[in-house]
Amino acid sequence: MKLSKKLIGSLAIVAVTAALAVGGTISYFSDTETSEGNTFTAGAVDLTVDSVGHYNGLICVGNKWQSCEAPNLETNLVDNGSFETPLVTATQNWQIFNSGTGWDIDWANDSQLVYQGRNRPEPALQEYHSGVLGDAKHGDQYTELDSDWFGPNDSLNGEPALIKISQDINTVAGMQYQLSYWFSPRPDTAAGNNEMKVYVNGDLVGTNGGAGGASIVWTQFTYIFTAEGGTTKIEFVGGGTDDSLGIFLDDVRVHEMLCEESEEYTEACYSTWGLTDLGATNQFFNFGDIKPGDEGENTISLHVNSNDAYGCMVFSGLVDDENSINEPESEVDQTATGELSKNIYMYAWADDGDNIFDENEVPFFEGLLANDVDGTIIPLTTIGNPIAGGETRYVGLSWCAGTMGFDEENRVFTCDGESMGNDTQTDKMLFDVSFYVEQARHNEEFTCDVLRTDQETVVTDLE
């Protein structure tokens, strides 16, 4: 009954106001709020893959097997890696700059935009020193990655000013490069003030830190990487206590490794390429003259470019072709099928991009192609731990024509060809390697079992 009264009263008011409005003798307060352009756009899961091929100690660069061992120190690919420009002109021998350094500069943190009542300036500012607390390692200036908001003539101290600096350098896909830099803790600061992380194409390759002593102590660090494409991003990120004090950096260099074409292995190679959707021309393995004892490795890079996704690797479609039978083979083999897959041993693991099976890295599988690999599905993720959108995952895939071993001390695979006999001469083997990703959202229980096509398909467990 109470509800009915209210409803009737409301109707009466509407009738009166409508009548008054016709006469134009009363105005009304009004307000309209509109949410414009409401849109549903389907998301996507997009995977691209690149590869770097190795064979008998060589690397596939420019479709040629080459030996790359020493850096070319004559050419530094980094612009202003010694931080000599702009020139510090302040009498305090330090200064802040937001441009002209050759580096992209960003604040490392966004958790505190106001300090002591003052707003953080934009864009981010990079701090240069010229002999303030000691000499530069190279030239006259170096940079501090816990920067400053307003410069040497302002009284503000202790503001959160950590920065990250990055630079895109020109590279060649498949070519190896050496990154080197000099780091020092700021003198008379705690270790928590001097934490720096170094990234190459978004992959963490170095972490530096330590407490500062009475003076600057420079230490050099180096890292060898293989370019994935025509440009490579290097990035230095300041971390730790965010208070405008800490993390000195100088003399950043990237040198191309000097390479020489192999005189022994002159067959063209195609196992190195930049980021792409895999097609008919992308073979991780394409060898036409395998001998007992040959070995190789592919470092495969998987880029999930959008949403988080679970991933699987699939080996399938093995074909053993006798190809032809020469005299040595005919004396030991009269079968109509090839035997090469029974003599190619493979080992796969979750790599960090350096094509070395490190002690802490997770193995995926090992075995002969014929017995243990064909028809195998390997999970690249575990339940609840997908590949994050924008993240890169690496798979190391080593092979041996013969019996594979592993040198624990030097962390290298070995290959003994004694077990591979004349029955494999002229044999040819083909197989497919596929990568599958599936959205993680609303799909928390995904497993690679969904890819099973028959009872012979084997899904391995990833511990």
0.85 exceeded by pTM:
no
Read off the tokens for 380: 């690249």
373 has a pLDDT exceeding 80: no
Condensed to tens digits (0 to 9), the pLDDT of residues 201-259 reads 988 888 899 899 999 999 998 888 888 889 999 999 999 999 999 999 999 999 999 88
Confidence at residue 424, expressed as pLDDT on a 0 to 100 scale:
67
Is residue 240 domain-shared with residue 297, that is, in the same domain?
no
d(CA 355, CA 228): 13
Task: Decide if 420 is inside a domain.
Answer: yes
Task: Decide if 230 is inside a domain.
Answer: yes
Condensed to tens digits (0 to 9), the pLDDT of residues 283-305 reads 888 888 888 999 999 999 888 87
Confidence at residue 89, expressed as pLDDT on a 0 to 100 scale:
97
Is residue 172 domain-shared with residue 215, that is, in the same domain?
yes
d(CA 177, CA 267): 24
Confidence at residue 334, expressed as pLDDT on a 0 to 100 scale:
54
* Mean pLDDT along residues 127-136: 95
Is residue 173 domain-shared with residue 120, that is, in the same domain?
yes
Query: Hey, what amino acid is at 92?
Result: Q
Condensed to tens digits (0 to 9), the pLDDT of residues 422-461 reads 776 767 888 888 899 999 988 888 888 878 665 444 444 5
Is residue 451 domain-shared with residue 403, that is, in the same domain?
yes
Task: Decide if 9 is inside a domain.
Answer: no
Residues counted in the chain = 463
Task: Decide if 30 is inside a domain.
Answer: no
180 has a pLDDT exceeding 80: yes
d(CA 49, CA 287): 20
The confidence band for 136, taking pLDDT boundaries of 50, 70 and 90, is: very high
Is residue 160 domain-shared with residue 187, that is, in the same domain?
yes
Q: Which of 225, 259, 293 is the last residue of a domain?
A: 259
Tell the residue number behind the tokens 């390479």, with chain if given.
Answer: 259
In the chain, % of residues over pLDDT 90: 46
- The bridge status of strand 458-459 relative to strand 376-379 is parallel
Condensed to tens digits (0 to 9), the pLDDT of residues 142-174 reads 999 999 999 999 999 999 999 999 999 999 888
Q: Which of 230, 259, 288 is the last residue of a domain?
A: 259
Higher pLDDT, 35 or 426: 426
d(CA 420, CA 35): 71
* Mean pLDDT along residues 401-428: 86
Q: Which domain holds residue 201?
A: 94-259
Confidence at residue 453, expressed as pLDDT on a 0 to 100 scale:
62
Condensed to tens digits (0 to 9), the pLDDT of residues 2-18 reads 222 222 222 222 333 23
Q: What's the structural domain count of the chain?
A: 2
Task: Decide if 12 is inside a domain.
Answer: no
Task: Decide if 168 is inside a domain.
Answer: yes
Condensed to tens digits (0 to 9), the pLDDT of residues 81-109 reads 999 999 999 999 999 999 999 999 999 99
Is residue 284 domain-shared with residue 333, that is, in the same domain?
yes
CATH number, domain containing residue 178: 2.60.120.260
Is residue 134 domain-shared with residue 221, that is, in the same domain?
yes
Q: Which of 233, 259, 285 is the last residue of a domain?
A: 259
Query: Hey, what amino acid is at 139?
Result: G
Contact call for residues 360 and 305 (beta carbons, < 8 A): no
182 has a pLDDT exceeding 50: yes
